[in-house]
């Protein structure tokens, strides 16, 4: 095993599995192009081959030198400090990874589950909107219960959740809650500064992008969020 650790092997397996998946999927578009004899798949397959070679090369380097490596002065000079934060935080255990990935599933669940349920119960129009609001409420509740257990996982998930809700609930309705949520996850718990900063940030963004630059931001598809977003735009423009 040389200096190889389980983490190195997991990293190698992830890379090689990715190569396998991407290579298998490349048959979906493996078509000839009349004027180009290499076809549509040769370029991505070359990259896949290079990824596989690099992954094996990395495994070999880990086998020979373990973690105590940096290939030259350039690289040694530019190592990211994110690694150190991970070490300090003890965020490298399997449990932490599983808990984080479970949290990260929540936004994607919102993007898929309401449509699946709507398909089963043939929900349309306002029923579908209510279904989406209920799903969002359940998932928000689930998210809130997990915050204390995995703060970093919650910070990674919150922006994705915000983005997933954006289409339905709009920027104008969600932004104030998002601002407060981020401040809270970053350790701010005093209500008065949180409300004041939230109002300041929201006000500045609205003034700059809606009032001055007329940037169209998502107003949402679901009532009452759509009405709130439209009202804000009407008032500011």
Partner 1 sequence: MEVFNNFLNGTITLFSDPLGILIFFGGVIGGMLFGAIPGVSMLTLAAILLPFTAHLSPEHGIMLFSVIYCTGVYGGAITAILFNIPGAPENAPTAFDGYPMTQKGQAGKAVGAAVMCSAIGGTVSCIIMMIATAPIADWAISAFGPPEIFALVFFGLAVASSVGAKTFWKGWLSILIGLMIAVVGLDPVGGIERYDFEMPYLLAGIHFIPVILGFFAVSEIFVQAEKKAVGSYKAPKMGVEFPTLKELLAHKVAVVRSIIIGFFCGILPGIGATLAAFMGYNEAVRWSKTPEEFGKGKLEGVISSETANNAATGAAMIPLLALGLPGGALTAMMVGVFQMHDMEPGPLVFINSADLVWVVFAAMFFANISIIFVGYLETKTIINLLRIPFQFLAPMILLLATVGAYAVRGLTIDVVVMFLAGVIGFFLRRSGYSVAGIVLGLILGKIGEQTFAQAMQMLHFEWSGYFDRPIALGLLLAGFATLGGSIYGSFFKKKKPAATDPAI
Quote the CA–CA distance of 108 and 179 in Å, as a whole number: 21
Residue among 13, 20, 65, 116 that touches partner 1 (CB under 8 A) = 65
Residue among 131, 139, 162, 172 that touches partner 1 (CB under 8 A) = 162
> Least distance from C-beta 124 to partner 1, angstroms?
22
- Beta-bridged to residue 33, according to DSSP, are 36
- CB burial class (10 A; 0-12, 13-18, 19+) of residue 88? exposed
Residue among 1, 24, 94, 213 that touches partner 1 (CB under 8 A) = 213
Q: Which of 108, 88, 118 is nearest to 163 (CA)?
A: 108
Q: For partner 1, which stretch binds (CB under 8 A), given 114-122, 128-136, 205-213, 226-234?
A: 205-213
Q: For partner 1, which stretch binds (CB under 8 A), given 112-120, 140-148, 193-201, 229-237?
A: 193-201
Question: Is the Cβ of residue 76 or residue 121 nearer to partner 1 in the bound state?
Answer: 76
Residue among 128, 135, 175, 222 that touches partner 1 (CB under 8 A) = 175
> Least distance from C-beta 35 to partner 1, angstroms?
7
> Least distance from C-beta 37 to partner 1, angstroms?
6
Could you give the dihedral angle defined by the CA atoms of residues 80, 85, 88 and 93, in that order, rounded to the nearest 10 degrees?
A: -100
Q: Note the Cα 153 to chain centre separation in Å.
A: 11
Q: For partner 1, which stretch binds (CB under 8 A), given 120-128, 130-138, 201-209, 226-234?
A: 201-209
Number of residues that bind partner 1 (CB under 8 A): 88
Instruction: For residue 42, give both structure tokens.
Output: 């040769």
Residue among 117, 118, 182, 236 that touches partner 1 (CB under 8 A) = 182
* 104 touching partner 1, by CB under 8 A: yes
Annotate 157-198 with DSSP letters as a single string: HHHHHHHHHHHHH-HHHHHHHHHHHHHHHTT---HHHHHHHH
* 89 touching partner 1, by CB under 8 A: yes
Quote the CA–CA distance of 121 and 161 in Å, as a whole number: 25
């Amino acid at each position: 095993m040389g200096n190889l650790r389980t983490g190195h092997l997991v990293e190698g397996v992830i890379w090689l599995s990715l190569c396998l998946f991407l290579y298998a999927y490349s048959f979906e578009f493996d078509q000839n192009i009349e004027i180009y004899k290499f076809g549509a798949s040769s370029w991505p397959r070359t990259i896949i081959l290079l990824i596989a070679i690099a992954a094996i090369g990395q495994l070999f380097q880990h086998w020979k030198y373990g973690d105590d490596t940096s290939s030259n002065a350039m690289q040694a000079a530019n190592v990211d400090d994110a690694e150190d934060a991970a070490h300090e935080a003890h965020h490298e255990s399997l449990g932490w990874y599983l808990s984080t990935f479970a949290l990260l599933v929540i936004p994607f669940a919102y993007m898929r589950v309401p449509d699946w349920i709507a398909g089963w119960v043939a929900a349309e129009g306002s029923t579908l909107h209510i279904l989406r609001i209920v799903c969002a409420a359940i998932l928000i509740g689930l998210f809130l219960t997990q915050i204390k257990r995995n703060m970093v996982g919650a910070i990674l998930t919150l922006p994705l959740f915000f983005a997933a809700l954006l289409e339905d609930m709009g920027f104008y309705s969600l932004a104030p809650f998002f601002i407060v949520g981020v401040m809270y996850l970053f350790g701010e718990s005093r209500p008065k500064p949180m409300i004041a900063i939230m109002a300041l940030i929201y006000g500045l963004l609205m003034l700059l992008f809606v009032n001055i630059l007329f940037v169209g931001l998502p107003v949402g598809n679901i009532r009452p969020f759509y009405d709130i977003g439209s009202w804000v735009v009407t008032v500011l423009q």
